[in-house]
Structure 1
Amino acid sequence: MDIKLYLKPVDFSKFKLPDWAQPKFSLGTILEKNHSKLPLEKAEIIIIGVEDDRSAIVKGSSKAPNKIREYLYPLNRISPRFKILDLGNIKTGKTINDTYFALKDVCASLIGAGKTVVVLGGSQDLTFGITKAFEETPFNLVNIDPKLDFKKGIKTINSETYLNFIFEKQPNLYSQSTLGYQNYFVDSLELDHSYEMETENKRLGEIRYDMSSIEPYLRDADILSFDLNAIRQLEAPGQYFGSPNGLYAEEACQVGHYAGMADKLKIAGFFNLIPRLDQGDLSCKLMAQIVWHFLEGFYFKKVESPCGTNNDFNEFIIEIDDIDLPLIFYQSQKTGRWWMKISDDDEIIERTFSCSEEDYRMAAQNDIPDRWWRNIRKLNRIVK
């Protein structure tokens, strides 16, 4: 499939670098050079834009992709040998479903060829189109969001109900996590329902207390869906939610960096930026910097796995009173990151998943971590 049929190429002449930028060292310069010299098959990471907000709660985010590029291109190129391409914007379909289908085809083709994809939205319901690229393989979805974008009983998709459609129509969804939600925007019944659906949620206060606690969630993710509304309005005024609380700018960039470093992440989408609501293009600049931190994390990431006979990991075996099998933890000697190994009740399937040092410390104190319980339930359900 020729994905370029779905895309409008970038016109680099429309993006003039500001006086402070050094053209020789800018990301825009290397993207323009790669556009003519780097074959698609040799690229490692691909940027695409989606100028569609027809299912948005508040319109305006369709103008975001090129505004993000305006402030992304002047930033540091990260490396002169960065194998990155910007393929332009997906052509808007006659209906929103046409856009979802095009996004699915483009993403499926790119990740099938081993590429990582950065999607510049557009409204966050485009996440549904992205997940359709995983119709044949299990996937993990992580949302950065101030609330749970799920409304029980709603049958119409929009930028705050798209999770309904992912839960109902994407049987290969293995796990979904919402990071940075704020409790006064989420009803207790919603949290109870999400618990029944075995999703995981971390409050803004929890991740602010320890930003590194979100790294294991992102390390196992296949898809990241980042909602600008998760950032407090003072630092990102180009949003419709407008909360005085939320992630700080540097925290949002740290999330982007962790996501870029994630071993398995295949697609990262950045959504709900509304340029007409922005002040001094502050949100556009911030979103560009979040994307830049993602790209930097991607370039410098170290892919590692404790599976097999890898000698670069410490192994810890912990006996727990209430379960028959021991809990097995691994810690990387290079990066200090942690993993946990589990198997189903009949020991038919084994799976290793990311965890934190805190999970290990809980187990060492004879307390079973929540992440172990959640994953063991999912694994037993798969076997049955």
Structure 2
Amino acid sequence: MDFNFLTPINDTVVAHLISQSMKSLGQNIAIHTTGNGLPDLSEVNIAIIGIKDGRGAPDNEGCGENLQYIREKLYQLFPGNWQTKIADLGNIKQGDTIKDTYFAVSSSVEYLLKKKIIPILIGGSQDLTYANYRGYDSLDQTINLVSVDSKFDLGAMNENLRSSSFLSKIIMEQPNNLFNYSNIGYQTYFNSQEEIELLDRLYFDAFRLGEVKDITLVEPIMRDADIVSIDISAVRQSEAPGNKNASPNGFYGEEICAISRYAGISDKVTSFGIYEYNSILDSNYQTANLIAQMIWCFIEGVNARAKDYPFVTKENYHKFTVLLTDDDPINFYKSDKSGRWWMEINMISNTKYKRHCVSTL
């Protein structure tokens, strides 16, 4: 694939690497630089891509710029005992129109997914989640989307695609590949009762901020996700000031890092995005620092994957069958490797939905 819409890492970031320890993360990943060009992806497992387009967030003008601050903080960190190969492919530059940017994002995601590479998307407005979602169109599979956000971002059905309305476009537009949507951390006063009731009628899952303060409850939600999208405004302003929609309430830094790690641990998660970073408001680069640590935690989670999702294989599981009167039996599976549980659901006979026939417990 021709990645001509990708620009190299900022030269100042590359120069900053010279002063870093040879054991730091920046010294141990493949980086798209002006001198070396794009790295070889043949053995890469995770690819980082910045997106320098915030036009979809008119209420957070400036997001998508200065992604080098995130990279500087990320490159300074030390990797764990990781086996995955990581590449930073640089930035998708702003297209002539926002649709051009969407095309570049979806094309990049599609290419990486077909290469079995997990894309980590940083920067830009959260409507880019829509472009990420469209990258799955050619894979002939339905998608579970998990959004960590204080708002649902449904917007009005006739509203243009924006960071505040991308979910309605994902739900309504064809081809419709959405199987389930889950929101983690919504705050009721930011969402109308009509929106809350609509999600309930659609049988989508929404978890209030107070419900998931026990962060361990997030793991089963992430276990079924394909795409994870995080709006940095879901983190409280004192922890992440770099967003014009930041609020006094939200997740603490260690909580959002734990959520990122749970996303990485999930065998099904194949793309991960953090959006709405606004460097103009980022006091002492605190938000950039937090996003770097979130990315680190996601990669740490990927390296800790048990690879025990039952859709792949049902060997090495304990199977429990519950017989219900006048109903089909319900099968439960317990993994010998991790101790996690799944429940098998009777799905309609469409092979497109087969991968969702096992649900988490």
Both structures adopt the same fold (TM-score exceeding 0.5): yes
Q: Superposition RMSD on alpha carbons, in Å?
A: 2.5
Cα deviations across residues 142-172 of structure 1 (Å, max 9, x unaligned)? 1000011102334212111111211111411
Matched to 1:179, the amino acid is: I
Cα deviations across residues 52-96 of structure 1 (Å, max 9, x unaligned)? 001112211111522211111100123475411001001221000
Residue 196 of structure 1 is matched in structure 2 by 201
> What count of residue pairs does the alignment treat as equivalent?
352
Alignment of 1:272-291 (within 5 A): 272-291=276-295
Within the candidate set 316, 320, 339, 2:320 is matched to: 316
Residue 377 of structure 1 is matched in structure 2 by none
Q: Alignment identity in percent?
A: 36
* CA displacement at 1:265 relative to structure 2: 1.2
8 Å Cα contact 1:121/1:272 also seen in 2? yes
Cα deviations across residues 88-116 of structure 1 (Å, max 9, x unaligned)? 00122100010001111111011011111
Matched to 2:152, the amino acid is: L
Task: Say which is worse superposed, 32-41 or 282-291, in terms of deviation.
Answer: 32-41
Residue 300 of structure 1 is matched in structure 2 by 304
Residue 91 of structure 1 is matched in structure 2 by 93
Matched to 1:130, the amino acid is: N
Within the candidate set 105, 113, 120, 1:111 is matched to: 113
The answer as to 2:346 corresponding to 1:325 is no
Within the candidate set 50, 74, 77, 2:76 is matched to: 74
8 Å Cα contact 1:330/1:340 also seen in 2? yes
Residue 27 of structure 2 is matched in structure 1 by 29
* CA displacement at 1:329 relative to structure 2: 1.2
Q: Output the TM-score relative to the length of structure 2.
A: 0.90
* CA displacement at 1:22 relative to structure 2: 5.3
Within the candidate set 324, 337, 341, 1:338 is matched to: 341
Residue 59 of structure 1 is matched in structure 2 by 61
8 Å Cα contact 1:179/1:204 also seen in 2? yes
Change (3 A) 1:117 1:319: same
* CA displacement at 1:309 relative to structure 2: 6.6
Within the candidate set 199, 206, 210, 2:211 is matched to: 206
Change (3 A) 1:220 1:344: closer
Residue 49 of structure 1 is matched in structure 2 by 50
Change (3 A) 1:346 1:277: closer
Change (3 A) 1:309 1:91: closer
In the aligned structure 1, how far is the partner of 2:350 from the partner of 2:127?
38
8 Å Cα contact 1:28/1:77 also seen in 2? no
Within the candidate set 124, 134, 153, 2:136 is matched to: 134
Q: Output the TM-score relative to the length of structure 1.
A: 0.85
Unaligned runs of 5+ in 1: 357-384
In the aligned structure 1, how far is the partner of 2:246 from the partner of 2:314?
48
